[in-house]
Amino acid sequence: MSRLIIVSNRVAPISEGGPAAGGLAVGVYDALKETGGMWFGWSGDVLTSGQPQIALEERGPVTFATIGLLRRDYDQYYRGFSNATLWPAFHYRADLVQYDRHEYEGYSRVNAWLAQQLVPLLREDDVIWVHDYHLIPFAQALRAAGVKNRIGFFLHIPFPASQVLLAVPPHRELVQALCAFDLLGFQTRPDLRAFCDYIVNEAGGTTAMQPDGLTRIEAFGQTLCAGDYPIGVYPDEIAELARAGERGKPVRTLKATLHGRKVIMSVDRLDYSKGLVERFRAFERLLDHAPAQRNKVSFVQIAPPTRADLHAYQDIRLRLEAESGRINGRYAELDWTPIWYIHRQYERAVLAALFRASNVGYVTPLRDGMNLVAKEYVSAQNPEDPGVLVLSRFAGAAQELSGALIVNPLDIDGMADALSAALSMPLAERLARYQDMMAQLRENNVSVWRDRFMRDLGQVSVRQGVSLPPLERAQG
């Protein structure tokens, strides 16, 4: 039986037995538990000296193989090229791209080193599924080490338009490295189109739609396939968590503090791609334009800081603190705080219960590969009295969730109008929109996402001609 080997930058903390906050962790760990196999990646430890060693730990059908990073590798590979170059560029923020040739060398070096660490753990018929922008050169590095297994790649963040990607100096090498995979998965069709556009217009390659719906790509002397695989959630599990948490302490505290006021809820990692400043301003605009809403609604923004050692993240944090302070100073009353801005992580169950207790889910990234919070918000709603999702057109989720009120996060008035419409939407319309979105979420849950990708990875013709048995599900 073929094992599934998941490779991602971070592996979910083993001691917690489950995923940390972060969409990738949630989606992938759930998937791996069902299939069985190994999860390989960085432990999260940064070592100042010594030689990092792989630690192996078995948990049911999943083996966790983790390794620390040396300080210089962390700085160049993770903090530098991954998060100060690729992340802003892939989120269309060419203005924030910082490029340092040594960091790119470190990124390539760490990919090669991680690949060498994985090689002794591999079996001939393992199927390897690599995740996200930290590991673009990973297949190239495995191939260089003689690995002939099937290797797929899923990009969790957007793939940018060619003219934006060109801002990353080694863009060509990166796309060439992607072509060493057998199957590339993108979140949405626009991401796949952007990749194909680069292949044809910048790399001089060709793309062709196949009868099976996959796009066949020929470029840099390689042949591979690509497709769009929008990541999902388990909507019924989230609904159950939310229902179970309805009478829990967090929801009771929220309701007691609100005194019957409505609540708009946002949950994000604190990141400039999430559009938080624009979102705060649109809430302020709502209070400006609709005085009747004052003291009638509060906006709760939960945003735990991430990547706090990067300047761009320190900047966005300061700007948000200034904005929330300014808006609260302008509108707060002795018995009412307009914006609650909370820098904390919460358990999934608590978030689900808070989503259910709120009237509006306010999810307005400037760019997002998918945005699982949008899907979690809808899943958590009370089927008899659902809240309304206000969703950015630039979240991948907007391609599927047409029952949301779709907004442009740069249009502050438009967002304020959408908030107003959401707060006053009649039950019949809320029900129709909710049911439409729940049907979509059930149809494309995270198992469907995983199965589609694994099926296609099992079927694409592998250039080395290795023939592999299909993956089997782990029992129990």
Q: Which of 30, 228, 368, 456 is catalytic?
A: 368
Burial class (CB in 10 A: 0-12, 13-18, 19+), 397: buried
Contact 67, 51 (CB under 8 A): no
Which region, judged by CB under 6 A, interacts with ligand ADQ, from 1-9, 171-179, 198-206, 265-273? 265-273
Kindly state whether residue 191 participates in binding ligand ADQ, applying the rule CB under 6 A.
no
Binding-site member from 152, 160, 369, 403 for ligand ADQ (CB under 6 A): 369
**Taking contact as CB under 6 A, which single stretch among the options 47-55, 134-142, 365-373, 467-475 is the one that binds ligand ADQ?**
365-373
373 is a contact residue toward ligand ADQ (CB under 6 A): yes
Q: Letter for the amino acid at 93?
A: R
Pick the closer one to ligand ADQ by CB: 351 or 412.
351
Label each residue of 97-164 as H, E or C: CCCCHHHHHHHHHHHHHHHHHHHHHCCCCCEEEEECHHHCCHHHHHHHCCCCCEEEEECCCCCCCHHH
Q: How far is the CB of 351 from ligand ADQ (least distance, A)?
A: 5
Distance in angstroms (rounded) separating the CA atoms of residues 239 and 116: 42
Residue type, 394: F
How many of the chain's residues bind ligand ADQ (CB under 6 A)? 25
List the structure tokens of 276. 């938080």
Cβ-based nearer residue to ligand ADQ, 99 or 346: 346
Structure-token pair, residue 146? 């003689």
Active site residue 156: yes
User: What is the per-residue DSSP string for 23-91?
Assistant: HHHHHHHHHHHHH-EEEEEEEEEEESSS----EEEEETTEEEEEEEEEHHHIIIIIIIIIIIIIHHHHT
- Asked whether position 304 contacts ligand ADQ by CB under 6 A, the answer is yes
Residue with nearest beta carbon to ligand ADQ: 23
Residue 326 in the binding site for ligand ADQ (CB under 6 A): no
246 near 341, Cβ under 8 Å?
A: no
Helix (H) or strand (E) segment spanning residue 420: helix 412-423
Measured in whole angstroms, the distance separating CA 414 from the mean position of its chain's CA atoms is 25
Stretch that binds ligand ADQ, among 258-266, 371-379, 450-458, 463-471 (CB under 6 A): 371-379
Residues in region 201-240 near ligand ADQ by CB under 6 A: 231
Question: What are the backbone angles phi and psi of residue 62, rounded to the nearest 5°?
Answer: -115, 130
Q: Does 27 bind ligand ADQ (CB under 6 A)?
A: yes
Q: 305: closest CA among 349, 264, 342, 350?
A: 342
Report the Cα–Cα distance between both ends of the chain, in Å, rounded: 16
Q: Is the distance from CB of 133 to CB of 87 less than 8 angstroms?
A: yes
Q: What is the C-alpha separation between 144 and 146, in angstroms, rounded?
A: 5
Asked if 378 interacts with ligand ADQ (CB under 6 A), we say no
Closer to ligand ADQ by CB, 73 or 376: give it: 376
Q: Looking at 165-173, 267-275, 425-433, 454-462, which segment touches ligand ADQ (CB under 6 A)?
A: 267-275
Which residue in 92, 331, 336, 346 binds ligand ADQ (CB under 6 A)? 346
- Say whether residue 372 binds ligand ADQ (CB under 6 A): yes
How far apart, in whole angstroms, are the C-alpha atoms of residue 413 and residue 21?
32
Please identify, using beta-carbon distances, which residue of 134 and 430 lies nearer to ligand ADQ: 134
Among residues 370, 388, 390, 412, the one that binds ligand ADQ under rule CB under 6 A: 370
Beta bridge partners of 362: 390
Which region, judged by CB under 6 A, interacts with ligand ADQ, from 73-81, 340-348, 413-421, 438-446? 340-348
Q: What is the DSSP letter of 410?
A: T
26 binds ligand ADQ (CB under 6 A): yes
Per-residue x/- track, 132-171, ligand ADQ (CB under 6 A): ------------------------xx--------------
Q: Of the listed 91, 131, 134, 156, which one is catalytic?
A: 156
Q: 20 Cβ partners below 8 Å, 6+ apart?
A: 10, 12, 13, 345
* Binding-site member from 14, 21, 406, 474 for ligand ADQ (CB under 6 A): 21
State yes or no: is 368 an active-site residue: yes
Task: Work out which of 345, 382, 399, 408 binds ligand ADQ, going by CB under 6 A.
Answer: 345
- The window from 22-30, 62-70, 311-319, 446-454 that contacts ligand ADQ (CB under 6 A) reads 22-30
List active site positions: 156, 368
| Binding positions for ligand ADQ, rule: CB under 6 A | 21-24, 26-27, 156-157, 231, 267-269, 302, 304, 344-346, 351, 368-373, 376
